[in-house]
Structure 1
Amino acid sequence: MASYKQLTAQLEKLHKEVAAARDKEVAQAIADIKQKITEYDLTAEELGFANTRTVARKAPSVAKYRNPKTGETWSGRGRSPAWLAGKNRDRFLIEV
């Protein structure tokens, strides 16, 4: 039976072999993919990679309520502000 040191040495050798084999196969896969992209003139959008670097952001919320004393506004989303708590919201609606 192999000793612990022998087994760990074998394991380390196998890890290195696995990493080398993966690097070689990944390089070949990338070359194949690049060749197909060129051959078929594919775009990132066609491959499903559109907008991967840009994050779609929501437009800012439009204010629906205004505090006449301070001018502070609230869109109606999220927690109600303290200045509006317990009051009739219709009085604070912004006319559009």
Structure 2
Amino acid sequence: MSTYQSLLQQKAELDAQIAEAQKREKSAAVTQARELVAQYGLTADDVFGKYTSAGIRTAAGKRATVAPKYRDPATGATWTGRGKPPKWIADQDRASFAI
């Protein structure tokens, strides 16, 4: 049975081996990625997609739209239920406005 100190020494050695292996494999992955980017002329948008100002990734670079959940019967205005509620629905039961 191992002692606490010997186990800590083994852990430190394993951590060093893990860090070295990660460094080696990461370097190889970066090299491969750079080769593919150069080979196919890829851009960052090709690889990662485009992002909206809110940080939402979209495939075509257009802002993702959300279907409205609530409608004001008086004006026909709609609200998705996200963000600050408009004045026509604030402090009211939203069930009566559901689409």
TM range (shorter): 0.5 to 0.7
User: Number of residue pairs matched?
Assistant: 74
C-alpha separation in 1, matches of 2:29 and 2:90: 56
Match of 2:77 among 75, 88, 94: 75
Q: Look up the match of 1:29.
A: 29
Alignment of 1:50 with 2:49, yes or no, is yes
C-alpha separation in 1, matches of 2:18 and 2:42: 32
C-alpha separation in 2, matches of 1:18 and 1:39: 31
Relative to the length of structure 2, the TM-score reads 0.52
Structure 2: gaps of 5 or more residues: 57-62, 66-71, 94-99
Root mean square deviation, CA, Å: 3.5
Structure 1: gaps of 5 or more residues: 59-63, 67-73, 86-96
Relative to the length of structure 1, the TM-score reads 0.53
* Alpha-carbon offset, residue 32 of structure 1: 1.3
Percent identity of paired positions between Structure 1 and Structure 2: 21
